[in-house]
Amino acid sequence: MPMHKLETAFHPRSIAVVGASTNTMSASYSFVQHLLTYGYRGKIYPINISKSKLLGLKTYPSLKDIPDSVDYVICCIPAPKVPDLLQECHQKGVKVVHLFTGRLTETGLVEAAELEKEILEQARKFGIRLIGPNCMGIYSPFEGISFGYDFPTEPGPLGMFFQSGGASTEFVHYASLRGIRFSKVISYGNALDLDETDFLQYLSQDAETKVIASYMEGIKDGRKFLCALRQTTAVKPVIILKAGRGVAGTRAVASHTASLAGSFRIWETAIRQTGAILVHTLEEMIDAAVSFCWLPPVLGTRVGVVGGGGGKSVRSADEWEEAGFHVVPLPPEIRQEITKKVPQMWWDWIENPVDVSIMPESAWVSGLNGEILRMMSESPSFDLVIANITVDGPFGKNEMIAFINGEVQDILEINRRRTKPLAVVLDTGTLGIGDFDHWRWRFLAEQKTTLTAAKIPVYPTIAQAAKAIHHVLTYYRKN
């Protein structure tokens, strides 16, 4: 198989940052800084006409002054200077240029659109591939390339191609909190040359990428993209957020990435037919990514739920059912087991979802809810099991810590057996700064960290869990 045209972008032996400024507030400065911070092992060449040093690195007045070859260029100079730069890139043998440079077609100005066209023609003539313009480029933790501050340095299974740099930055920060790590992330802006189909195909064949997520505002070539999407969903899940769905969104897309948003209805149908998963918000996409990265295939709708009091059980029943699951009755053999262990519960009061609060205190203390969760996870009556962490109990500090610690230990133990898809609902709260020191929120955050470290999906709400896991079900039923 020939090397994919994006291999150079993701594995460059040397990178030049053209227009690297000493202004610490500028993007060009931060691109250089990130290469150092994230530990990029290739050669780094900052291009700056007037300074001789930047962040301890020797700078060069122009590309042609660099003694060695350059694989990859991050371009931060104003748009009108790009055609000349491409000429220099050609002479230097550069293969891929990331155009951070913006203010092109997205401005709506005719002269900017003409300039963009000229840039494309130049690149085509020289056989140089472009990422962008008007984008943040590449985050590749494995190579030590990044476009954002405080991104994780260790890689993971999620590959992303996002038309918006801001959306990708926000996604990486907030998904990281949920435990997600990334293989390769591409922010690709106006998609002048390399487009959504190229990025999709690259991530499709990339062995490091197990799950793909994309934020798209437009499609350059619908037929080609949908064909590639169908091929990709046969081998790995693809989650798509199509932005620019309505009147105002379409207008906003034009001034953002100059894309034609197109009719969302048509998009929606076409994307769903390929087996890709369509989501509507960034938060829904994060939940879906957590689910696809960590859950085994979910193949049926029969859900068993344990944990929390009566209200939580009723809410769980409603919200799982409304998301498309069947909250099936507790099977007789589990009921018999419960009666054996707790003779006081001899009749059929206990149901699915299991309301732990109706059990005698002795049963709580001895971890009966964990025992029921284990039985459910081993029972052929359920396709997946859900543990609600009991944040709704009328507990004081010591009681809550003891009880929830028990729940979490049981979940970890059941998860180790990998008998069935297992997920957790635990809301750690939207904290104000004063809440950071309160034992309750510290304790819940600790539990979340423990569960997440074991790659058990944790969702803040029942509805989010149900919606996200239904996406997994939909994917595996189709593929």
Site residues for a copy of itself, 356-395, by CB under 8 A, read 357-358, 361, 391-395
- Which of 300, 460 has the CB closer to a copy of itself? 460
Among positions 223, 442, 455, 477, the unique one binding a copy of itself when judged by CB under 8 A? 442
**Residue window 305-344: x/- pattern of binding to a copy of itself, with contact defined by CB under 8 A:** ---xxxxxxxxxxxxxxx---xxxx---------------
Give all strands of the β-sheet with 211-216 in edge-to-edge order. 137-139, 182-187, 158-162, 211-216, 238-242, 277-279
Type and span of the H or E element at 75: strand 72-75
Give the number of C-alpha atoms closer than 13 A to the C-alpha of residue 451, restricted to the C-beta side.
33
Backbone angles phi, psi at 82, to 5 degrees: -65, -45
**Residue 90 binds a copy of itself, judged by CB under 8 A:** no
Member of 165, 237, 275, 370 binding a copy of itself (CB under 8 A): 165
CB 204 within 8 A of CB 253: no
Q: Which is nearer to a copy of itself, 187 or 204 (CB)?
A: 187
In the complex with a copy of itself, the residue whose CB is nearer, 110 or 207, is 110
8 versus 176: smaller Cβ distance to a copy of itself: 176
Q: How far apart are CA 173 and CA 166, in angstroms?
A: 11
Number of residues this chain uses to bind a copy of itself (CB under 8 A): 110
Measured at the alpha carbon of residue 477, what is the angle toward residues 351 and 327, in degrees to the nearest 5? 10
- Estimate the crossing angle of helix 82-92 against helix 110-126, to 10 degrees: 10
Answer yes or no whether residue 170 interacts with a copy of itself by CB under 8 A: yes
Q: Which x/- pattern, by CB under 8 A, does the window 192-231 give for a copy of itself?
A: -----------------------x-x--------------
Which residue shows structure tokens 């070859």? 69
| By the rule CB under 8 A, 462 interacts with a copy of itself | yes
Residues 333/405, Cβ–Cβ less than 8 Å: no
Residue 268 touches a copy of itself, criterion: CB under 8 A: no
Binder to a copy of itself among 88, 208, 268, 283 (CB under 8 A)?
A: 283
Contact 372, 354 (CB under 8 A): yes
Q: Could you tell me the two tokens for 467? A: 């919606």
Q: Using a CB cutoff of 8 Å and minimum separation of 24, what contacts does 340-343 make?
A: 341/368, 341/371, 342/368
| Cβ distance to a copy of itself smaller for residue 148 or 275 | 148
Minimum distance, C-beta of residue 101 to a copy of itself, in the bound complex (Å): 13
Q: Which stretch binds a copy of itself (CB under 8 A): 25-33, 293-301, 332-340, 404-412?
A: 25-33
